[in-house]
Amino acid sequence: MVDHSRRRSRKGPARRTPPPAAGSPSASARAAAIRESVQDGAIEDIGPVLFALNDPVPGVRETAAVALGRLKDPRGCTTLAIALADPDARVRAAVVEALGGIGRAESREALERALDDPEADVRAKAVFALLGLGDARSRPALDRRVDDSAPAVRRAVAAALGRIDPDASFPSLERLLADPIDRVRREAVLSVGRSSDPSRLAIVRRYLGDPARRVRVAAAVVVGRHRDRDSVASLLALLSTPETWEKPAVLVALGRIGDPSAVPALIEWAEHPSHWIRVCAVHALGDMGGPEARSVALAHLHDPYWSVRGAAAVALGTVGRPDDLSPLLSLLKDDHPWARRGAIYALGSLGLAEAAPRLREELLDAAAEVRLAAVWALGRLQDDGARDDLIRLLYQTRSAPIRPAPSGAAEAEERLASDAESRLFDAVVQALGRLSHGLPDPLIHRSLVDALGRLSDEDLDRLARLPLPEVRSDQPAPTLRALFETALPSTADDEDSS
């Protein structure tokens, strides 16, 4: 192990910037001026921000580095690379993050040099910056940090190697699987699970018996993702232990694997006193299907916890039947939006067109998640009666960035924490495309063309943010441009003829 416990002096060019003259702005004022200059995004002249990397006050230099990372302006890369020699560790850490945020390939060598920084925080941030670049040429440099003295660095290395090239990195990942720190082993398990070699699953399977629960959870996630039937016995054994923290991952894995031998255990756990355990068991049964799953889902539509009622409704969308229309319509009166959301997804998934008039009312719900589900369901049902309402929503919503969810346990319990508002625009575009039935509808066509004209190329080339039923782990998300091309199949021909 490399010992970095004694801090070495950072060698680099001496700073020759003179101290501020009397009467000049204070350090806090200089930092505030930098933050204000970049708060609206791109700026034409980044010279003052670059110059601030030579400020005599470390806090100002750190603010400048953070600002350059926020701008993501490649003009700053050369100056930032030089600033990796800054004597202050916090400044170097901010510089590394800025280079990673800008994401230019030419920063790779500078970031690889930062892997030898005397400060563990800088080294760890350099690893994550290289992960962001995703350049396989960084693998040898990352391999050299497998025995780093800092667990945070080894953990970052395990994550990076798994995302850059898990197959070629397996010898290093195998060493990290034996790390004494459970967080490092957890990342190594997840990274080995990204390998394309099916024989690696046998190695991951062993970690279902790791002494640390977070490692066992990681192993359960991997075997569930790969639908590894050879893991079922070990997963069922974990359900018999008193530890409950790992049970959600185990239940979800069993649902994804779909082995019928797990059904009795899942039914039993669906009655567990903890509502978050019941949620996972109900979801798992919904993934597996079968008559038992339908019975459990119907029973849990009346669970005292809104999260379980919502999970039961979503499961019913997979295993339900047309005669489940009545209980699902009743759930639309639920006090909690999560349960109403689940019922709407189920009605759309089951293709129950009789519910369309009632679903149109949900387009006015106060909760964005409910409105999002209603948009999707009405598009799925190809309900012509929703056309005017969906066009109105198209003009009212905007292609917007994802907003952070509310924080705080109490707030999360009472409010629906989601990014649904940012998904509404994309969902409406998709729904209107489905309403056209493949035939031209002048009103839909005009509204979509108007919406298309409001968007930049950057907006159109981002990945579409769609409702839950459209998100699939085995398929990449389409771009927003692809949604418009599907909804407006004649647009390209129209442009050519004009």
Per-residue pLDDT of the chain (498 residues; tens, 9 = 90+): 444 444 444 444 434 344 444 456 899 999 999 999 888 877 888 999 999 999 999 999 999 999 999 999 999 999 999 999 999 999 999 999 999 999 999 999 999 999 999 999 999 999 999 999 999 999 999 999 999 999 999 999 999 999 999 999 999 999 999 999 999 999 999 999 999 999 999 999 999 999 999 999 999 999 999 999 999 999 999 999 988 889 999 999 999 999 999 999 999 999 999 999 999 999 999 999 888 999 999 999 999 999 999 999 999 999 999 999 999 999 999 999 999 999 999 999 999 999 999 999 999 999 999 999 999 999 999 999 999 999 999 999 887 654 444 434 333 334 445 688 889 999 999 999 998 766 778 999 999 999 999 999 989 999 999 998 898 777 788 999 999 999 987 644 444 444
Q: Specify the length of the chain in residues.
A: 498
Q: Phi and psi (nearest 5°) for 87?
A: -70, -15
CB 165 within 8 A of CB 135: no
Instruction: Give the residue numbers spanning the domain of 247.
Output: 198-320
Whether 81 contacts 52, CB under 8 Å: no
Has residue 123 been placed in a domain? no
Same-domain status, 229 and 314: yes
Residue 72: CB atoms within 10 Å: 14
Question: Are both 387 and 440 inside the same structural domain?
Answer: yes
Read off the tokens for 89: 């560790």
Domain end: 320, 354, 384, which one? 320
Residue 10 lies in a domain: no
The answer to whether position 153 is within a domain reads no
Q: Is residue 169 part of a domain?
A: no
* Last residue of one domain, picked from the residues 320, 349, 375: 320
277 occurs within a structural domain: yes
Residues 375, 290, single domain; the answer is: no
Instruction: Count other Cβ atoms within 10 Å, centred on residue 366.
Output: 8
Query: Do both 289 and 393 map to the same domain?
Result: no
Answer whether 381's CB lies under 8 Å from 351's CB. Answer: yes
**Does any domain span residue 121?**
no
Q: Are residues 302 and 209 in the same domain?
A: yes
Q: Are residues 262 and 315 in the same domain?
A: yes
Burial class (CB within 10 angstroms; exposed 0-12, middle 13-18, buried 19+) of 466: buried
Looking at the structure, tell me whether residues 492 and 369 fall in a common domain. yes
* In-domain check, residue 407: no
CA proximity to 428, closest of 467, 481, 469, 477? 467
**212 with 278, same domain?**
yes
Residue whose C-alpha is closest to residue 18's, from 55, 61, 49: 55
For residue 259, the one-letter residue type is D
C-alpha–C-alpha distance, residues 170 and 181, integer Å: 19
**Which long-range CB contacts under 8 A does 167-175 form with residues at least 24 apart?**
167/195, 167/196, 167/197, 168/136, 168/139, 169/139, 169/142, 169/143, 170/195, 170/197, 170/200, 172/142, 172/143, 172/146, 174/203, 175/146, 175/147
Same domain, yes or no, for 295 and 381?
Answer: no
Structural domain count, the chain: 2
